[in-house]
Amino acid sequence: MITRVHIKSFRSCEDVLLENIGLVLALVGRNGAGKTNILRAIDLVAKQATTELARVGGHSIAVDVDLDNQRLRYEQNYSVHLEKNADGKRSPPYRRISEHLIDLNNNVIIFSRTESILSLIGHDDFTISRTTPALKAITSLFPEHKNISEMTRLLSFFSRIHYSPLVELDSCDEPHWIFGDEYREFKDEYAILDGPERFVTKTLVYLQKEENERFKEIEAILGPSGLGIFDRILVINHATTRQAQQKEPSEKPVIYSVEFKLIESETRRRFSQLSLGTRRVVRLVLQLTDSRNAALLFEHPEDGIHRGLLTKVVDIIRTNADPLQVLMTSHSPYVLNSLTAENIRLVYFQKGMTRCRSLSTEEQRHAASYLEKEGTLSEFIELIEE
């Protein structure tokens, strides 16, 4: 899991340090303080380390990861250089990339990359494409390297960090009817899809057919004994239904649909007909139950969700936060009151820059006393912020 993040020169984060990160972390602060920028920085470094080094503005981001007591620090630096031509005119900005991987257990640099030159422990320097991440290059070229296990696991971990922005994915893109050829194409690509919760109806059809135990788990979480949103999730094969009604069944195209049966009602809803908050809860549950995710970066889980349901949602997050790690932003007192002081980082804007800090030992002691005698954790946080 991620244990430490150091962000420099990324958007409003001039110098932000998060340490002692546990399985659940909530970034708390006023609007515009920079909470989202912290999550985006983590998402950026993970994507750049696993896919392609795209042209972005200058930044320096270091992420410490603990993989079953194997502690690694991955550093990624982009610096922007402005130079002048011989005639004195300024040339276009030049971005210089560097990457470093450090074995924190043994205080050893496993690799160091500057531009296209990669230095790997135990090997001579060699050249790679400027847009190819070092981790991808090394795991492909040196499968027998003595540190291949650590690098392969880190590459896998970064690829399984999932960012869920506050802006909802367009539910209108969710088809109600899923034809057989569409489903087969989705099934073939499911393992490599970036965030299958973007395709909620197709994912639920897939899970009901291919991973039924997980489908039942999702149905239980959303059902009467869990969050109490739906009575059942119905995956309907309309071709089979028609054939069962015919005296002489004939070959029909396979067509699926997904409907959500409401509690204590015969009413059924398509996914696109559900409320914003309900759609967010369904997507969140899909993410939390996906064993492929290593860390979930989630913006404002309270958005659009009724406060009576929100406490249950946070309980679901905490229940699933092992081995899955959840880092989120929040304004909600109901979210904060479901956490402990150790799970919270205060994010604030000072002199035009984002700052972040944990509660001091004294503040945590005062918080415990305040919770016991006077009020809630969210009220205590509000007092500190003032």
pLDDT score for 191: 80
Residue 273, pLDDT above cutoff 50: yes
pLDDT at 105: 97
Q: Which domains does the chain have, with CATH numbers?
A: 1-160+295-386 (3.40.50), 168-293 (no CATH)
Q: How far apart are CA 2 and CA 300, in angstroms?
A: 20
Q: How confident is the model at residue 240, as a pLDDT?
A: 59
pLDDT confidence of residue 243: 47
Query: Tell me, what's the pLDDT at 320?
Result: 87
Q: How much is the pLDDT for 208?
A: 96
- Count CB atoms within 10 A of the CB of residue 197: 18
Tens-digit pLDDT profile for residues 45-97:
999 999 988 766 789 999 999 999 999 999 999 987 666 666 766 767 677 89
Query: Worst-scoring range by mean pLDDT, 83-92, 267-276, 291-300, 321-330?
Result: 83-92
User: What is the tens place of the pLDDT at every residue in 192-218?
Assistant: 776 666 789 999 999 999 999 999 999
Lowest model confidence (mean pLDDT) among 57-71, 168-182, 274-288, 299-313 = 168-182
Tens digits of per-residue pLDDT, 215-245? 999 999 999 999 999 999 999 998 755 444 5
Rounded Cα distance, 73 and 63, in Å: 6
